[in-house]
Amino acid sequence: MCKSLNKISYPRCHSSNLYRFGKDKAGNQKYQCKDCRRQFTLEDYRGKKNRVLRGYPRCPVCGSGTYLHHDYEYYSHYTCNSKKCGHSIYVAKPINIPSASCELIKGKTDFKRMRFPLFLILTALNLYYLNGSSTRRISQFFKLTYNVKVSHVTIASWCKKFAPIFLSIANRLTENLDLSASDEWHADETVVFINGKKHYLWLIIDSETRMVLGFNLSPSRDASQAFSLFKSASKFGCPSAIVTDRLGSYNLATKTIFNSSKHIKVQSFKDDISNNLLEAFNDTFKDWYKRKRGFKSFESANTLIAMFIFHYNFLRPHYSLNNLTPAQVAGILIDEKNINNWLLSA
């Protein structure tokens, strides 16, 4: 019995590592592949040997066709038909991958009937995100400097309320931005607390412009979070290399979403001098975050972090970039007058 089973191989993956798996309705013997868990009968493949499977990728190594080895929720795994080659190809299914939290900022995108001048709002954002001032201190500063009364509650609301508008501006500004020419994008996670509960802030940063390309806030460190993070950054192209720590969650996400990038795994970013860009971000972020002593809700944390990153990318001058912003280094010109025009047309 075992011998006869050994002669059969599954036409899709050529494995002969099979179980008998009962019979189908027509009484044909069913098998299950131990390697890819697919079930089949030999009837399924009669006369289909030379069937052309449309939409399957060609092998980038040897040019042969491929077969679908296994279909997963977030990606399909194809394998080269040439047994000698056997190359694996991973193709992402972006529709199935959940959006990263940075893509889920909701709220008004309308700046009309703003009671305060724009410069005051931008000054508040600079004091809040650059200087780490509290909203009460900013309120005092406005009274002393401009003799304008703005309550700390109003200032706190600015830091969140305008997030959807700033993010839609950021999206418009980076619409045609392609950072594929970059050597490396670095991904990492940092811990934040929301209501006392541990969360991970997943980040991906371009090494050349220092632009934060996406973030994903999540209570979990599982692989689906890395898929979400990478999907959010994939609109900026595909860099030469993706650099991550050794967390296994990055492996398949890199193979599928950045399938032409090299995946460089480092032991720890602290050991690698060239990886100081994540350190730089983390220092800046932690400096701001520690004054907040944690966040109160997921939504508020997500919105404040989105604004922090907008500020980091578009408004904050970086010493390491000769006091330019990452956006300026990426060739995006932005100044207050520009923002004003965008806001008026928002």
Binding stretches for Zn ion (CB under 5 A): 13, 15, 33, 35-36, 59, 61-62, 64, 80, 82, 85, 87
CB of 45 to Zn ion, least distance (A): 13
Residue type at position 53: L
Give the shortest CB-84-to-Zn ion separation in angstroms.
8
- List the one residue out of 243, 254, 250, 259 whose CA is nearest residue 205: 243
d(CA 189, CA 203): 6
User: How much is the CA Rg of the chain, to the nearest whole Å?
Assistant: 26
Residue 185 CB contacts under 8 Å (≥ 6 apart), including other chains: 179, 204, 205, 206, 207, 213, 233, 239, 241, 242, 243, 258, 261
Handedness of CA 333, 336, 342, 343 (dihedral sign): positive
Residue whose CB is less far from Zn ion, 36 or 278: 36
The distance of closest approach from Cβ of residue 94 to Zn ion in the complex, given in angstroms and rounded to an integer, is: 25
Smallest distance from the beta carbon of 48 to Zn ion, in angstroms?
16
What is the DSSP secondary structure assignment for residue 130, as one 8-state letter? I
Q: Closest separation between CB of residue 34 and Zn ion, Å? A: 8
* Minimum gap (Å) between residue 300 Cβ and Zn ion: 47
CA quadruple 154, 157, 158, 159: dihedral, nearest 10: 130
First-to-last CA distance in the chain?
A: 72
Which residue, 81 or 225, has its beta carbon nearer to Zn ion? 81
CB of 131 to Zn ion, least distance (A): 56
Quick check: 327 and 338 in contact, CB under 8 A? no
Whose Cβ is closer to Zn ion: residue 82's or residue 300's?
Answer: 82
Residue count (the chain) = 346
Dihedral sign, Cα of residue 143, residue 144, residue 146, residue 152: negative
- What are the distances in angstroms from CA 86 to CA 10, 147, 275? 15, 72, 35
Nearer CB in complex with Zn ion: 85/118: 85
Q: Which is nearer to Zn ion, 38 or 152 (CB)?
A: 38
Q: Quick one: 85 or 177, whose CB is closer to Zn ion?
A: 85
Nearer of residues 70 and 263 to Zn ion, judged by Cβ = 70
